[in-house]
Amino acid sequence: MGPYTEIIKALSDAHVDFIIGGGVACVLHGVERVTMDIDLSVHMTPENLGRFIDVMAALKLKPRVPISPAALLDPGFIRMMIEEKHALVFSFLDPDRPIRHVDMFLVADLAYESLLPDSDQVEVEGISVRIINRRRLLAIKLAITPPRPKDTLDIEFLRRYES
């Protein structure tokens, strides 16, 4: 898993409630492909979000945009990002190693509470984490318009192994 294991371990060690989505979830379901970021649905309670922000700082991951991560604690800020900026995620990255990149979902249909019933507990290098299950991941991928080539390949694989 490379740089993602470090991020997953740090979040797990800090007791952050999160669900892995996107390309990393696809890889954990068996899709053979490379992904350049880790997409997370973070439980947006103030305490959990505070732990998440602390982990991002400890890992030296900085917001892609010049906004303090503390702004994520304000539901009005998140609403504004979604409505005015059409943001789906808030991104953190390592300016020195861009492969260390975290996208945190902002939109309601990818919220922790929405995804929790459609998530599975799995082991990632000895760490127990939640990932979006294949059925929900397929539905999310099918909703991407237009689909990118990697989404088309993910859809093909997820359909083939749909349970």
Segments making up each domain of the chain, as ranges:
3-160
Selection from 43, 9, 15 nearest residue 111 by Cα: 43
CA 16, CA 19: separation in Å to the nearest integer?
A: 10
The answer regarding whether domain 3-160 maps to CATH 3.40.50.720 reads no
Range 8-37 average pLDDT: 94
| Whole-number pLDDT of residue 119 | 98
CA 130, CA 17: separation in Å to the nearest integer?
A: 9
Q: Please provide the average confidence, as pLDDT, over all residues in the chain.
A: 94
What is the reported pTM?
0.94
CA 74, CA 68: separation in Å to the nearest integer?
A: 11
Kindly calculate the radius of gyration of the chain based on its CA atoms and give it in whole angstroms: 15
Range 54-72 average pLDDT: 96
CA 90, CA 69: separation in Å to the nearest integer?
A: 9
Of the chain, the percentage scoring pLDDT greater than 70 comes to 98
